[in-house]
Amino acid sequence: MRQVADGVWQINTIPVPNAVNAYVADDVLIDAGTRHSPGLIKRSLQGHRINAHALTHAHPDHQGASHEICESLGIPFWVGDGDADAAENPELIGERQPDHWLARLYHRLFTGPGHPVDRRLVEGNDVAGFRVLETPGHSAGHVVYWRESDRVLVIGDVLLSMNPVTQIRGLSEPRRKLTPDPAQNRRSAKQKLGSLEPALVLFGHGPPLRDTRKFVEFVGRLPD
């Protein structure tokens, strides 16, 4: 684990650095890579007390190891209200993705088992000192986590700072082939995140971004 902010650590859930991230905020694990990730995540968490597991969204590269982590650590599972049923029944993850071969391949290769959701997160909830903001579009129940005191934003896949396949860096919107409602995701980025001015953005895919201006300008330039 690599510390990225006060009480916040980044975990690589696959052996490629920054490609598929999870985070620890205080005692909460946020996201859990693919179904091939349990070993790497558990090794990373050694010596750190984890009391709950939360998702940014129930997609194959974020919920893959959720079941095994929750079972083996004996901790509750927290998911955005609109994604909770998909986190419990991963067939819905596949059904809700765009009808495209890449989405089907991701689903087949990476989706992990479902797991009962103990807490359905909604706007304004507190998770490890972060406020839950609902940001639908990349998935129906996508949420981000925002800590205003030091302006840290765990953004999930509303935006990416690296293409996880090519590893080319730079801010981008998530792939349309893996995004059920790209227009809604863009509205979430502009309307929900555009005014936050984060000092640190932690992405599902890509390295942390500490350039507030770059983030604000990118979001501001997104077409309506």
Q: In angstroms, give the least distance from the CB of 117 to Zn ion.
A: 19
Q: In angstroms, give the least distance from the CB of 47 to Zn ion.
A: 27
* CB closer to Zn ion, 184 vs 212: 184
Count interface residues toward Zn ion (CB under 5 A): 3
**Among the candidate windows 32-40, 104-112, 140-148, 152-160, which touches Zn ion by CB under 5 A?**
152-160
173 binds Zn ion (CB under 5 A): no
Nearest to residue 57, comparing CAs of 105, 92, 17? 92
Interacting residue with Zn ion among 61, 81, 83, 181 (CB under 5 A): 61
81 binds Zn ion (CB under 5 A): no
- Cβ contact 140:59 at 8 Å: no
64 binds Zn ion (CB under 5 A): no
* Per-position x/- string for 199-218, each x denoting binding to Zn ion as judged by CB under 5 A, each - no binding: -----x--------------
Rounded Cα–Cα distance for residues 51 and 77 (Å): 10
- Cβ contact 66:88 at 8 Å: no
Rounded Cα–Cα distance for residues 168 and 111 (Å): 24
Q: In angstroms, give the least distance from the CB of 198 to Zn ion.
A: 19
For residue 173, give both structure tokens: 């919107």
Sign of CA dihedral 9, 139, 147, 217: positive
137 binds Zn ion (CB under 5 A): no
User: Between the CA of residue 117 and those of 15, 53, 54, 83, 222, what are the distances in Å?
Assistant: 28, 10, 10, 10, 34
- Cβ contact 214:206 at 8 Å: no
157 binds Zn ion (CB under 5 A): yes
83 binds Zn ion (CB under 5 A): no
- Cβ contact 71:47 at 8 Å: no
Q: In angstroms, give the least distance from the CB of 185 to Zn ion.
A: 12
Per CB under 5 A, residues contacting Zn ion are 61, 157, 204
